[in-house]
Each structure stands twice: as C-alpha cells, then as structure tokens.
Amino acid sequence: KMALFRSLVQSGRSVVSVTLRREFHRTSPASLQVTVRDALNQAMDEELERDERVFLLGEEVAQYDGAYKVSRGLWKKYGDKRIIDTPITEMGFAGIAVGAAMAGLRPICEFMTFNFSMQAIDQVINSAAKTYYMSSGIQPVSIVFRGPNGAAAGVAAQHSQCFAAWYGHCPGLKVLSPWNAEDAKGLLKSAIRDDNPVVFLENEMMYSVPFEMSEEAQSKDFLIPIGKAKIERQGSNVTLVSHSRYVGHCLEAAAVLAKEGIECEVINLRSIRPLDMETVENSVKKTSHLVTVEGGWPQFGVGAEVCARIMEGPAFNYLDAPASRVTGVDIPMPYAKILEDHSVPQIKDIIFAVKKTLNV
C-alpha cells in the first residue's frame, strides 16, 4: 500500500511540474533575440500589411527570397504585384520605383548592394531627392532605397565602399544607418512611412547578428524617429560617435578601456542626414573629448562632418584636446584578407585613438 501511495504522489508531482513548465513556456518573454535580417523582414512585412501602396522591387527579392534572405516569405504572402523581381538594371528599376512614388505609391527599392546604386545615382539624386524642392512642394517622392552598404568580407574594391557620406552630402534625401535589430526595425518602418526619399544603409556583416529586442519594439506600432541619435553607453571621459557596424566595435573598445578606468560614452548616430548634433554636443560638453569612428574613407567623411560641426558650435570651447577620427584607410579595398583587416577600423585602433586623445 505504501509503495502504491508513493508512486501516486510521485506521478502527481510529475504532472504538476509538467503543467507548471507548460504554463511557464506559454507566457511571452519580455524581450526576444532577433537578428537584424529578421527585424528588417518584420518591418517590411508589417508595413506591406498596413498600407497597400507599399511594394518591394529589386533583383532576386521575390522568388529567391532576397540575395541575403531579407525578404524571405514576402513573395509567398503578398504575390507578384507587391514583391517584384527585376532585371539586372539598377538605372531601370530605380527609375520605375521613383516614377511609382511620384504617382502616389510607396516603393521600397532594394539594391543588392549599395555599390550597384551608382548605376542608378542619377535617379536617386536628380529624380528622387530634388523633385519636392523643384516642384515647390507639390510633388513628394515617398521612396526607400535600401540594401547592404560598406565593406563586407573578401569582395574587394568595387564592392566594399561606404555610401553614408556620398548620400549624406545631398539635400533632399534622408540617410539612415542602423546598427542593431531595434534600429533596423524602427527606422525602416519610419522610412517607409516618411514622405521623403530615404536612403537606408544596412550592413551585410550585421544581418545574422542577434540582438535583444524589447517588448515595445515587437509591437507593430514601434517607430524610431528619424534624426535622433542614441546613447548606447554612458561615460564621462571621452565621447565615441559612430554608426552602423562600428557602434559594436566602439562598445567593445569601451568595455576594454573601462577596465583601465577610462569611461567612454558611445553614441549610435542612426541617422546620417539629418544629423543629431545636439546629442553629440551635449556629450562632448560632458566628456571634453571626441573620437569619431566609421568604416568609410576619411576625406569628407561622416566623422569629418561631425568634427567640423563641433568646431563651429558651442561644444568647441569644452574640448580639452583635438577631436580625432578613426576611419577606413584612404585606398580602394584590397582583396587579400590581411590587407583588408588593415583597411578597416579594428577595436585596437579605437583604443589607440582614445588613449592618444586623452594623452594616456
């Protein structure tokens, strides 16, 4: 009898524990791990569902699910009218997209990489960026140009440049450069809803990287305002300003420097045009030191613009040392792996620049 009683109690316990386990797994987690690729996919899916004027076109975006699988599943869900495979002619399909935007649709024009956007740069700059101004505000061009930007790995000179400064130079465009999954989702949704042409610079090396996505960011109403930088890490000794992939490098450098008693404030620009100089200035007033970090070339780059604006603005008088830049090397990207590594900023380069600026 005792043996039977024990077995009944134990089986009861196991039922209770299984029930509890099931209940535990059923509750939705506060934050999820989401890759940048999936965040971009979610953003497009939600906006395609929300607004029937939104459509996606580009090379391999439909039946192949995208060259980098960013548009995975969208063609199956929305069909040929909304997800359109184009021939390999950037000038042609960018022109079709701009014309569609002028007619009142909201195209997302994907370049397989932004290096190929040079084939279509006349459409982006002359047709999309200038029309609203030239029409005295009568003709908006609501379009998003998106795709991977900057150096990837082993793709050499013609497939490795960063276009943040190229497009950031041009009035009439908005230029966004997300780093993590929340940036990618919130900024892409804002870009699609914006009435201006937006250049949306992703990074191939970030697509598969998972990030925590908060409960708020999982909502279909989650938007990140265009033109607002984010302080990713608070610090008091030096301000690090970066965008895209190199925000992660800055955070890793900051973690190393913190062990040596140097506290870095890391700013993720997110938006290249408009540039949130208020956030940068307030940080520089606090830290009195500035280092900019980017993967693009040094001459007339994003860092050069940030440094110039600091010099012209109220924060200049707070600097205790000259601002310094960490950039890609001023050469076409080499193919050899070891040379490629020396051509883009590494964490050690950021640490060296910080120590040099602080004179330690």
> Could you tell me what percent of the chain has a pLDDT over 90?
91
pLDDT of residue 31: 79
Same structural domain, 245 and 321: yes
Same structural domain, 196 and 238: no
Query: Within a domain: residue 179?
Result: yes
Same structural domain, 289 and 189: no
pLDDT of residue 19: 37
| 249 counts as catalytic | no
Same structural domain, 170 and 240: no
Active-site option among 46, 90, 204, 294: 90
Q: Residue 196, CB half-sphere, CA atoms under 13 Å: how many?
A: 19
What's the rounded mean pLDDT across residues 135-148? 98
What's the rounded mean pLDDT across residues 179-205? 98
Find the CATH number of the domain harbouring 314: 3.40.50.920
Q: Is the pLDDT of residue 297 over 70?
A: yes
| 90 counts as catalytic | yes
pLDDT in tens, 22-64: 434 444 557 799 999 999 999 999 999 999 999 999 999 999 9
Same structural domain, 303 and 198: no
One-letter amino acid for residue 53 of the chain: R
Which neighbouring-strand residues pair with 170? none
Same structural domain, 234 and 317: yes
- Residue 141: both structure tokens together: 């061009």
Query: Within a domain: residue 143?
Result: yes
Query: Within a domain: residue 224?
Result: no
List the domain range (segments joined by +) for residue 240: 230-358
pLDDT of residue 29: 57
Number of domains in the chain: 2
Phi-psi region of 96 (alpha: psi -120 to 50; beta: other; left: phi over 0): alpha
Task: State how far the Cα of 25 lies from the Cα of 13, in Å rounded to an integer.
Answer: 18
Averaged pLDDT score across all residues of the chain: 93
- Residue 203: both structure tokens together: 């990074």
Query: Within a domain: residue 326?
Result: yes
Active-site option among 159, 169, 252, 263: 159
Q: Is the pLDDT of residue 348 over 60?
A: yes
Q: Is the pLDDT of residue 8 over 90?
A: no
234-268 in b/e form (b: 16+ CB < 10 A) is ebebbbbbbbbbbbbbbbebbeebeeeebebbbbb
- Residue 38: both structure tokens together: 């999936």
What's the rounded mean pLDDT across residues 301-317? 98
> With contact defined as beta carbons under 8 Å apart, do 111 and 89 qualify?
no
pLDDT in tens, 97-127: 999 999 999 999 999 999 999 999 999 999 9
pLDDT in tens, 245-269: 999 999 999 999 999 999 999 999 9
pLDDT of residue 15: 40
Same structural domain, 131 and 193: yes
Same structural domain, 106 and 247: no
Q: Is the pLDDT of residue 12 over 70?
A: no
Helix (H) or strand (E) holding 144: strand 144-148
Query: Within a domain: residue 347?
Result: yes
Q: Is the pLDDT of residue 135 over 50?
A: yes
170-186 in b/e form (b: 16+ CB < 10 A) is bebbbbbbbbbbbbbbb
Q: Is the pLDDT of residue 10 over 90?
A: no
Query: Within a domain: residue 144?
Result: yes
> With contact defined as beta carbons under 8 Å apart, do 162 and 330 qualify?
no
What is the strand order of the sheet 144-148 is part of?
83-85, 54-58, 106-110, 144-148, 198-202, 174-176, 271-273
Per-residue pLDDT band for 16 (boundaries 50, 70, 90) equals very low
Which neighbouring-strand residues pair with 32? 213
